Amino acid sequence: MTADEMLAMPDDGAHRYELVRGELITMSPAGWDHGNITDLIATHLSNHVRRNRLGKTPSSSTGYVLSRNPDTVREPDASFVRAERVIRSGKYFPGGPDLAVEVISPNDTWSEVDEKVREYLTAGTQMVIVINPRNQSATVYTPASTTRLTINDTLSGGDVVPGWSLPLAELFS
């Protein structure tokens, strides 16, 4: 299946999908903790981005085409695209967001999470934040480094989302 074929599928209202190397994957509904953490980080990020006119923070149902032939389309839990990269299109965004946030679900495997991180970075994403609700931590990936954070640390947008920060303790309170 291609990204265009996936986009043309009728919305059944019951499922979300990702496309991984041409294979359609049904996504499980988010659990309570996952949903709350995703909402908090997305709202906090969106408020900062809008207030400072940095770009756009589309909803978690927005698809990004991370690779072609075979196609991979991912939907991060939260994302940010810099103003100079924003497009108007009825299609999936071509390439990775500048920032992708993934909140680990109970059914996610480490190999799946690792694969997503590699796909985002290969597609040009400058920062991937992986939130782990189980151990109340986060890992921040950039093309040059990997940083592990604990509940006592603060997420920072660095050069990717200037001025944005969020104490991890706020995500898990």
For position 165, which CATH number holds? Answer: 3.90.1570.10
Determine the pLDDT at residue 39. Answer: 94
Determine the pLDDT at residue 15. Answer: 76
pTM: 0.93
Q: Tens of pLDDT along the chain (173 residues)?
A: 999 888 888 877 767 888 899 998 888 877 888 889 999 999 999 999 999 999 999 888 788 999 999 999 999 999 999 999 998 888 899 999 999 999 998 888 899 999 999 999 999 999 999 999 999 999 999 999 999 999 999 999 999 999 999 999 999 98
For tokens 């660095």, the residue is 158
The per-residue DSSP string of 58-91 comes to --TT--EEEETTTTEEE--SEEEEEGGG----SS
The CA distance from 60 to 34, in Å, is 12
Determine the pLDDT at residue 32. Answer: 86
Residue 85's domain comprises 3-171
Q: Are the beta carbons of 104 and 113 closer than 8 angstroms?
A: yes
Structure tokens at 42: 């997305």
Give the DSSP H/E element, type plus range, for residue 109: none
The CA distance from 17 to 117, in Å, is 18
Determine the pLDDT at residue 26. Answer: 85
Query: For the chain, how many structural domains are there in total?
Result: 1
Q: Are the beta carbons of 149 and 113 closer than 8 angstroms?
A: no
